[in-house]
Amino acid sequence: MKRSDVEVIEKNIAYDGYFRVDRYRLRHKLFAGGWGKEVVRELFERGHAVAVLPYDPVRDVVVLVEQFRIGAYAAECDPWLIEIIAGIIDAGETAEAVARREAVEEAGLDIGEMVKVADYLASPGGTSETVTLYCGRVDASDASGIHGLAAEGEDIRVTTLPFKAIAGLLAETRTHNATLLIALQWLMLHRDELRKRWQ
């Protein structure tokens, strides 16, 4: 199947505020042949994002952030999520530039070399958002404190986690976000080669 196997009958904006919701009327080809019936789907539009896992190969630690998330609250999870640094890519910006800016804003960190981990769809059943994920080299010797932009209501706590504690964190029920899970699992697979490359 390919994009041309979808017929968009109508598309309009259902809501346009801080985020946007588009409503599609469409149909698509079926695996068994022919065309399916017309369906209506709403799509949450928030743009595309970038995330970076800061890793210090000398101290063998990652830098994580913790902040309040309305989605976790609405899902009746602990609303203060442990995450990696992330931000939305605005028009004209590159993913790498946004990752570097967000690292300064959210954690007071300067990112050195970055290795691309993946590009993935955040939740393709309801949003077009993609996430470009990196692992970035940092000096975590001073990684701590409270950061974020007060004008945006950010209140972000920075912590470090030794590599040897990652498996335990992944086993906890508090690791609810996919970006963190993907990044830490990737690091578990690639840590040795990164340490050779970055030492």
Q: Among residues 152, 154, 172, 193, which one is catalytic?
A: 152
Handedness of CA 86, 91, 97, 102 (dihedral sign): negative
198 in Cβ contact with 57 (< 8 Å): yes
| CB atoms inside a 10 Å sphere around CB 124 | 11
Q: What is the dihedral of CA 17, 157, 155, 179, to 10 degrees?
A: 0
| Catalytic residue check, 66 | no
CA–centroid distance for 183 within its chain: 9
- Cβ proximity of 70 and 154 under 8 Å: no
| Among the listed residues 184, 176, 105, 113, the one whose alpha carbon sits nearest the alpha carbon of residue 145 | 105
Q: Which helix (H) or strand (E) holds 12?
A: strand 6-16
Q: How many CB atoms within 10 Å of residue 119?
A: 12
Q: Which residues lie closer than 8 Å to 125 by C-beta, 6 or more apart?
A: none
- Residues carrying an active site annotation: 152
